[in-house]
Amino acid sequence: MELQENERIDDLEYKNLKIIQNKNLFCFGIDAILLSDFAKEIKKNSKVVDLGTGNGILGILLCGKTELSEIIGIEIQKESYELALRNIELNNLQDKFKVINSNIKDIKLERNKYDAIITNPPYKKKDTGIKNENKQKQIARHEIEATLEDFIKVSKDLLKPKGEIYIVHRPDRLVDLIYELRKNKLEPKKIKFIYPKENTTPNLVLIKAVKDGKPFLKIEEPLIVYNDDGTYTDSILKIYNKKEG
C-alpha cells in the first residue's frame, strides 16, 4: 500500500498486524493498546461497535485478540475514516471490519443489537486544556462534536441486554463516567487504574460496564507502566506480547 505525505506505517508487533498513521491526525497511544487488552474477553462471534474509531487501531487489535464476528467503527472525521478504510485493507479485515463516516449521535444502526461497545472517546471537555493543535486533533481530543454523555447514551441504545461496554478515559472524569453509566443502566462492573510509575497518581482508567447488570464493582490490581529506571514493567511487556504471559 502506498503511503501519502505525513504518513508512516507501524508494525503492531501482534499477529503481523500493521497500521498507517498520519502525523496530522490523532495517533494512537498506549491507551488503545491497554483498552484492547482489557476488552480481549469479548466473546466469540460478538457483534461489536467502536465509537470514534480514528485510524482503526482498536478494531484492528480486537480482530487479532478476540474472535468477534463483526465490528463497525464510527468515525466523524473524513480523513480518519479514509485512513481506517486503508488500514482495514492493509490487514485484510474487510470481511469483518466496516467503518461509517458519521457523528456517533447520527448513526442509524439497529438498537438493542450489539454484544459489545469499545470506545476511546475525547478526554477533555470542550473548553478545557491546551488547544494549540489542529482542528482534527482537537475533535479527537476534546468534546467538540460529542460529549461523554453522548457516547454513553448511544452505547445504551446499541447494546443488547447484558451487552458490555469497554471505555478508556482519564481518572479525573471517573465521577462523570460512573454517574452517566449507571444513569443509563450500564452498570460498572470492573475498573482498572493505570499508573505511570509506582507511588504516583493514575493517569488512565479502564471501565467495563454491563447493560442492566447487577451492582457489584471489582477494582482490579493497579497496572504500573514504567519501572523506576524508565523501562516497561513486566505487566506492560506481557500486554505488548514481548514476554511470556
- Smallest distance, a second copy to C-beta of residue 175, A: 5
- Smallest distance, a second copy to C-beta of residue 183, A: 8
| Pattern 113-132, a second copy, x by CB under 8 A | --------------------
204: cell is 488512565
Residue 220 DSSP label:
P
4 binds a second copy (CB under 8 A): no
Binds a second copy by CB under 8 A, chosen from 18, 178, 185, 237: 178
CA-CA distance, 166 to 52, in Å (whole number)? 13
149 binds a second copy (CB under 8 A): no
Q: State whether residue 115 is helix, strand or coil.
A: strand
- Smallest distance, a second copy to C-beta of residue 189, A: 9
Stretch that binds a second copy, among 4-12, 80-88, 150-158, 188-196 (CB under 8 A): 188-196
187 binds a second copy (CB under 8 A): yes
In angstroms, the Cα distances linking 144 to 72, 148, 155 are: 22, 11, 18
Contacts (CB under 8 A) with a second copy, residues 194-213: 195, 199-202
185 binds a second copy (CB under 8 A): no
CA-CA distance, 39 to 3, in Å (whole number)? 30
What residues does 205 pair with on adjacent strands?
169, 193
Burial class (CB within 10 angstroms; exposed 0-12, middle 13-18, buried 19+) of 39 = buried
191 binds a second copy (CB under 8 A): yes
Look-up: residue for cell 511487556?
237
* DSSP H or E run through 97: strand 97-101
188 binds a second copy (CB under 8 A): yes
Q: Which residues of the chain form contacts with a second copy (CB under 8 A)?
A: 171-176, 178-179, 182-183, 187-188, 191, 193, 195, 199-202, 215-222
